[in-house]
Amino acid sequence: MTHTTPSTPADLGAAAGSVADVIAAAGNPVTALRGAPFPAMSFLQWEQTNWQHEQYLWRETAAFLDQSHHMVDLFVEGPDALRLFSELGVNSFANFGPGKAKQFVAAAPDGHLIGDAILFHLENGTFDLVGLPTCLAWVLYNIETGDYDVTHTWDDNSWVRRGSPRLYRYEVQGPAADDIVRCAIDGELPALRFFQMGSVSIAGRRVGTLKHGMAGAAGFEFWGPWADAEAVRDALTEAGEPFGMGRVGYRAYTTLTLESAWISLPVPAVYDLPALQGYREWLPAGHLGSLAGSFESDSISDYYVTPYDIGYGKVVRFDHDFVGRDALERIAERPGLRKVTFAWNGDDVADIYRSQFTDDGRLPARFVDVPKSRAARFTYDTVTGPDGAPAGFSLDTGFLGPDRRVLSIGMVDEAHAGTGTQVTITWGEPEGSTRPHLPAHRQTTVRATVLPAPYSDYARTQYRAV
C-alpha cells in the first residue's frame, strides 16, 4: 500500500504525540479543546480586492473561487475502495458508479456525526475524497487499520504540504456562470444536473467538472493536474472579464456558508467514545481542534450532533451496513434538532459595537468580527427561547454586506424552528474561559429571528434542480 499519514502543522505549536495524549494531559476533552490555539490560515490570499465587493460577485455577476490550497484530497483506489466508503458512509452506494459525486457523511458507532466531505468516483475503483481533515482522517485511519485491499495518497493542504498540490480546484459561481463557462471551454457545454460530473477541454487541457453550487447560486467546479492550473485559470479569467467576474479571497469565501447553510465544523463525535480510543491514539495532536462559544458543558458529548440535527437526514440510507447504523435507526425515530438561519437584531449588534468605543466602567462585549466572527475551529453559542429555556445552538456567525445583516447558522428544537420565531443568542465566552487570543470581554445577549436554511432562496429552492 502507498500512504502518507496526516501531518501535524508545525505552525500550530501543538503538543507532540496524539490527540489522546493531549486529552489525558488536560484532564478531559472540553478543557483540551477550550485551551487549544486557532491560528489564521495565513497561507491563503486574504482578499483579492475587498471582501465587501467580493460578496456581491456571486449574486450579481460571477465569482472565481480558488479551492486548490485549503482542503485535503484523499485518493483511494483498489478492489475494496467502494466497500470502504460504503462501510463508513451513511449514504447509499447502490448506484454510485464512475462519473458521479456525492456528499459523503460519516458517523461514529453511537450515530453522532464525525464529518462530511465530497466524494468523487473518478474511474472504476478510483475515488477522491475532498474536504476538511476531520472526516478524511477518520477514513484514513480505517484504511490503515482495517482489512481493505486499497492504495491511498493523502495530499494535505498548502499549510502543511511541501510543494504544489496534486490537483488545482476552481469554482465559477453566479448568475453569469453558464455563459462564462460556454465561452471558456473548447466545444459544447455538457448538460449536467446538480452534482453530476463531466469532462471538458479548456485551453486545450482536459478538465474534470462538477455541476455544483456553494454560494447560493448555480456554478461549476473544475479540477485537473497542477501543471495545467495556470493555463486553465487564465482561460476562465479571460472568459469571465466581459461578464464582470472577479476573484474572491478567503475572507469573503468563508461567508459562503451563511447563504448555503453548510455547517462545516460541528464537534466530531470522536473525543470520548471508548470504541474510538484507538483512533485518538493514532490521530496526531495537531488534529485536536479547538472550541469557543457561550455554551458550556463539562461533557464533550453535549456538543455532538447527529446527521439529522445538521440537515443530513435526507442522505441516510439503511440499505447497507455501516458504522453507526444501529444507533441511527434508533435516532431516526426520535425528535432532534433542525438546521436554521438566525438573523441577528441590528440594534443589538450596534450595541455590541458601541461597547467597543465607550468607557462605562464595564468590559466591552465580544467584538462581532466581519465578515466572519470565528475564534476557534468549533463554535457553540447558546440559543434560548422566549421562556429562557435552552432551544439549541448557533455555530457559525458572519456578516453579509449585500443584505446588511449579521447571520448565523445553527440548530434548534422543533418548537422554535418556525420561520419568524424569536430567540436569544448568548454572545461571548463563559466566565473563566481559557480561549487563547480573545481579549477580555463580557457576555451579552442578542435577539434573533429564525429564518430558513439555506438562507439563499435560490439555494433552497432551485439550484439542486438545474
Q: Residue ranges of the domains in the chain?
A: 10-260, 298-461
Q: Which CATH superfamily is domain 10-260 in?
A: Probable tRNA modification gtpase trme; domain 1 (3.30.1360.120)
Is domain 298-461 in CATH 3.30.420.280, yes or no? no
Q: Distance of CA 454 to CAs 57, 135, 267, 442, Å?
A: 19, 22, 21, 31
3-state helix, strand, coil in the chain (%, to 5): 30, 30, 45
Residue of 341, 256, 342, 264 lying closest to 305 (CA atoms) = 264
Q: What does each of the 466 residues of the chain score in pLDDT, given as a tens digit?
A: 334 444 433 333 345 799 999 999 999 999 999 999 987 776 778 899 999 999 999 999 999 999 998 899 999 999 999 999 999 999 999 999 998 999 999 999 999 999 999 999 998 889 999 999 999 999 999 999 999 999 999 999 888 888 899 999 999 999 999 999 999 999 988 888 888 899 999 999 999 999 887 656 679 999 999 999 999 999 999 999 999 999 999 999 999 999 989 998 899 999 999 999 999 999 999 999 999 999 999 999 999 999 999 999 999 999 999 999 999 999 999 889 999 999 999 999 999 999 999 999 999 999 999 999 999 999 999 999 999 999 999 999 999 999 999 999 999 999 999 999 999 999 999 987 878 889 999 999 999 999 999 998 766 665 555 4
333 is in an annotated binding site: no
List of residues 6+ apart from 170 with CB closer than 8 A = 64, 65, 66, 67, 68, 221, 222, 223, 232, 233, 236
Same fold, 10-260 and 298-461: yes
Amino acid at 165: P
